[in-house]
């Protein structure tokens, strides 16, 4: 995570930037190390999901029906919309429109906060309906995947707050917006993980 924060310009670094990949990779090399680590972590969880689905088919067959599907759909649409706002923020700063970039970034952050709000409400609904972590292997997997994803959304929100503040102080321009781009890339990676999690938990039986 420290690497990801450095990549967004949150922490100073004594390591000179690699020029080898500049221009050929969106954002910077550091954020891509963070993104690939995040996706590798989720890949292991998806393998665990497949294993438990194989060994406990009955739990996974009944599992999605125990969940509030509308919350999963709302979370997915919110995440995709927030990702769209992040792209619009990047396009705005690329034409040096800082004000528009700020508005799109705030929209992105609000999307992230809405995602967290929907998840909190869903967890509360789960508890009221007996969907608790000790229930069965599907429910345990559901909490394991969604809590892990939640942590990444929180990190992403913190990164977005940081780039909103930096943008306010004029840190980004059409020529130099590496930190802003890195934050949006991390956000899209979190979106990618959810794109897989949603059907695994709410659709596949």
Judged by CB, which is closer to other proteins: 9, or 27? Answer: 27
DSSP 127-181: HHTT--TTS-HHHHHHHHHHHHHHHHHHHHHHHHHHHHHHHHTT---SS--HHHH
State in angstroms the smallest separation of the CB of 48 from other proteins: 11
Q: Does 204 bind other proteins (CB under 8 A)?
A: yes
Q: Does 203 bind other proteins (CB under 8 A)?
A: yes
Q: Does 198 bind other proteins (CB under 8 A)?
A: yes
Q: Does 114 bind other proteins (CB under 8 A)?
A: no
Judged by CB, which is closer to other proteins: 61, or 129? Answer: 61
In this chain, which of 3, 46, 48, 98 binds other proteins, going by CB under 8 A? Answer: 46
Using CB under 8 A as the binding rule, the residues of this chain from 126 to 185 that contact other proteins are: 185
> Smallest Cα–Cα separation from 125: which of 203, 197, 68?
68
Q: Are 67 and 148 in contact (CB under 8 A)?
A: no
Judged by CB, which is closer to other proteins: 118, or 169? Answer: 118
How far apart (Å, rounded) are the C-alpha atoms in residues 17 and 182? 14
State in angstroms the smallest separation of the CB of 12 from other proteins: 25
Using CB under 8 A as the binding rule, the residues of this chain from 69 to 88 that contact other proteins are: 69, 72-73, 76-77, 80-81, 83-84, 86-88
Distances (CA, A) of 61 to 54, 66, 103, 126: 11, 10, 43, 18
Angle between helices 178-202 and 98-128 (to 10 degrees): 30
In this chain, which of 11, 17, 22, 39 binds other proteins, going by CB under 8 A? Answer: 39
Backbone φ and ψ for 133, nearest 5 degrees, come out as: -55, -25
How many Cα neighbours within 13 Å face the side chain of 149?
Answer: 29
Judged by CB, which is closer to other proteins: 67, or 164? Answer: 67
Q: Applying CB under 8 A, which residues contact other proteins? A: 24-26, 32, 36, 39, 43, 46-47, 49-50, 53-54, 57, 60-61, 64, 69, 72-73, 76-77, 80-81, 83-84, 86-88, 91, 185, 188-189, 191-192, 195-196, 198-200, 202-205
């Amino acid at each position: 995570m420290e690497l990801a924060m450095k990549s967004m310009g949150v922490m100073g670094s004594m390591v000179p930037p690699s020029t080898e990949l500049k221009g050929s990779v969106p954002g910077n090399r550091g954020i891509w190390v963070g993104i690939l680590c995040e996706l590798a972590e989720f890949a292991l969880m998806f393998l665990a999901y497949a294993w438990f689905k194989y060994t406990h088919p009955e739990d996974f067959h009944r599992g999605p029906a125990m969940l509030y599907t509308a919350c999963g759909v709302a979370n997915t649409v919110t995440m995709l919309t927030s990702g769209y706002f992040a792209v619009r923020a990047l396009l705005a700063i690329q034409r040096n429109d800082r004000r528009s970039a700020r508005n799109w970034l705030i929209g992105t952050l609000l999307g992230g906060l809405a995602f967290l709000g929907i998840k909190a409400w869903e967890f509360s609904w789960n508890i009221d309906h007996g969907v608790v972590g000790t229930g069965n292997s599907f429910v345990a997997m559901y909490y394991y995947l969604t809590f892990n994803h939640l942590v990444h959304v929180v990190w992403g929100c913190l990164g977005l707050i940081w780039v909103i503040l930096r943008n306010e102080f004029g840190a980004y321009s059409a020529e130099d917006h590496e930190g802003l781009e890195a934050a949006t890339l991390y956000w899209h990676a979190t979106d990618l993980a959810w794109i897989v999690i949603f059907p695994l938990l709410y659709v596949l039986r």
